[in-house]
Amino acid sequence: MGEQLSVVSLFSGAGGLDLAVERADAEPLASGDFGNGLLRVSVATDYNEPALQTLKANFHDASTLAGDIRAVPTEDILTKAGLRSTEPVLVIGGPPCTPFSKSGFWLEQKRESRDPNASLLDEYVRVVREAQPEAFILENVQGLTYKTHKAQFERLLRGLGELGYNPQWKVLLAADYGVPQLRRRVFVVGRRDGEKFEFPEPTHSGWSEHTRTVDASKTPHVTAGQAFEGLPLMTQASDDEIVDGTYGELAAEIPPGQNYLWHTERYGGRNHFEWRSRYWTFLLRLDPNRPSTTLQAQPGPWVGPFHWENVRTGSGQERARRLRVNEMIRLMSFPDDFKIGGSRANVQRQLGNAVPPELGKAVVRALMTQLGYLNPVSPSHVVAFG
C-alpha cells in the first residue's frame, strides 16, 4: 500500500460517505474486501455526540472534531487533520438535510426555505474555499433541487463555481448502484482544475417509483428479500419493534408492498381510510421482491416501511413489526460488522441520515478514476449479502 491520500469529512454523521471514501477501490462491502486504502479520512466533524461515537468506533485512524461548523475555523479542521491548505485530496460531506427534506414541509419556514440551517451550505463552500482540496463531493436530499430551494441551491453552485471548481450535480437512485433501497440523493462534485466531472453510469436496473422500464443489460435491483438473506431468525419481537395501538390491527392486515390504501374502498381491506388521504409511507409494508422505499431518519409511529412478516404479541395477537438494526444496516449497504450504538430510534436516525456506502463508492470511484488515482477498470458491482 502506497501513501494514503487525505480526506476532510464535514457533517460526517454515521460515516456512510467516509466509508465509501476509505473503501472506494474495494469490492462491495459485504464481501469483506477493504480495498488498498487509497484514501484515508484524516478528520471527521459533526456536532452530534452519538454520531461522533459511531465515527470513533468505526474509523480508528481518523481524528474527530466536535462542534457547530459555523463556529469552527477551517484552520482548526486542517490542523486536526495534520494538513495545510491545498493538501486534502477531497473535502466530502452532506450538510444536514432537514431544511430541504419533504418530511419537514408541514413547517411553513421549510416550505418557504427560511430554515436557518440552510446556511450550512455556505459553510461547506467556506471550507472548500479555504482548504482548497483537489476536489469535493457534497451530498444531500433530492429536495435541495426543488423549486422551493432554488435560491439556496443556485447560491451553492455559484459559490463553488466562483472558486473554479466547475460544480456538476445529479440526482442518483441508490438502487441503480446496488443498494437495496429506492433512495434518491443529489450529489454535487467539482474539481480544482476546473475539468468537468462525469457521473458514473448505473450498474443496476429495475422498477422505481417513476418508471417501469428495465435495462436488461444491467444487473437487476437488489431486493429487500435478497438483502436480508442470511440474517439470524428471531421469532420474538421486542416491544419497540411491534406496531401496535390505534392502527396496529389494520397494519397487520396489509399485504407486502401495500400501504394504508389497502384499507380504502378501492382495495381488498377494510374501508377505513379516504383515498390518498395520507402520505405513501403510512402503514407501508416492505415487498421482499423489490428494493425498500427510503429508510426515514425520524419516522412517526405509523410510518414504514415495516417488515412484510407479522409477529405475535405476548397475548397472541398478530402485528406488523418495525425493521431491526441489522436489517436497516443491510438496506443501507453498510457492512454487517459496522458498529452503531444507542436506542433503536437513535440508530435509525443515524442510518436514515447517512449516505448508502455503495452509492457513495460509485461516485468516489468515478471521481478518483477521472483524477487519475484509480485505473478505469472498476470491480464488480454485484452486491452479495450474507
Per residue, what are the HEC states of the chain?
A: CCCCEEEEEECCCCCHHHHHHHCCCCCCHHHCCCCCCCEEEEEEEECCHHHHHHHHHHCCCCEEEECCHHHCCHHHHHHHHCCCCCCCCEEEECCCCHHHCHHHCCCHHHHCCCCHHHHHHHHHHHHHHHHCCCEEEEEEEHHHHCHHHHHHHHHHHHHHHHCCCCCEEEEEEHHHHCCCEECEEEEEEEECCCCCCCCCCCCEECCCCCCCCCCCCCEECCCHHHHCCCCCCCCCCCHHHECCCCCHHHHHHCCCCCCHHHHCCCCCCCCCCCCCCCCCCECCECCCCCCEECCCCCCCCCECCECCCCEECCCCCEECECCCHHHHHHHCCCCCCCCCCCCHHHHHHHHHCCCCHHHHHHHHHHHHHHCCCCCCCCCCCCCCCC
Lowest mean pLDDT among 92-106, 196-210, 252-266, 281-295: 92-106
Give residue 112's pLDDT: 45
- For position 341, what pLDDT does the model report? 85
Burial of 249 (0-12, 13-18, 19+ CB in 10 A): middle
Asked whether residue 34 carries a pLDDT value surpassing 80, the answer given is no
pLDDT score at 25: 84
> Residue 15 class from Cβ within 10 Å (0-12 exposed, 13-18 middle, 19+ buried)?
buried
Q: How confident is the model over 347-358, as a mean pLDDT?
A: 95
Tens of pLDDT, residue by residue over 128-181, are 999 999 999 999 999 999 999 999 999 999 999 999 999 999 999 999 999 999
pLDDT band at 2 (very low <50, low <70, confident <90, very high): low
pLDDT value at 60 more than 60: yes
pLDDT reported for residue 344: 86
pLDDT at 288 over 80: yes
CA distance 301 to 247: 10
**Sequence-ordered list of residues with C-beta below 8 angstroms from that of 60, at least 6 positions apart, any chain:** none
Report the pLDDT value the prediction gives residue 118, as an integer from 0 to 100: 57
Instruction: Give the mean pLDDT of 82-108.
Output: 75
Q: Summarize the confidence of residues 181-205 as an average pLDDT.
A: 97
Residue of higher predicted confidence among 379 and 168 = 168
Q: Is 97 an active-site residue?
A: yes
Whether the predicted model's global pTM rises above the 0.75 cut: yes
Residue pLDDT, tens place only, 321-350: 999 999 999 999 999 999 998 888 899 999
Please report the pLDDT score of residue 386 as a whole number. Answer: 43
Average pLDDT, integer, range 280-303: 96
Above pLDDT 70, what percent of the chain? Answer: 89
Supply the mean pLDDT for the chain: 90
Residue 202 has pLDDT above 50, yes or no: yes
Q: Which residue has the higher pLDDT, 110 or 60?
A: 60
Q: What is the rounded average pLDDT of the residues 254-265?
A: 98
For the cut 50, the answer to whether the pLDDT of residue 356 exceeds it is yes
What was the pLDDT predicted at 27? 74
Residues 24, 368: contact at Cβ < 8 Å? yes
Residue among 52, 55, 91, 97 flagged as catalytic = 97
Domains and CATH numbers, the chain: 5-220+355-370 (3.40.50.150)
Closest CA to 185 of 169, 204, 172: 172
In the predicted model, is pLDDT for residue 30 greater than 70?
Answer: no
pLDDT at 367 over 50: yes
Q: What is the pLDDT of residue 174?
A: 98
Provide the percentage of residues in the chain whose pLDDT is more than 90: 78
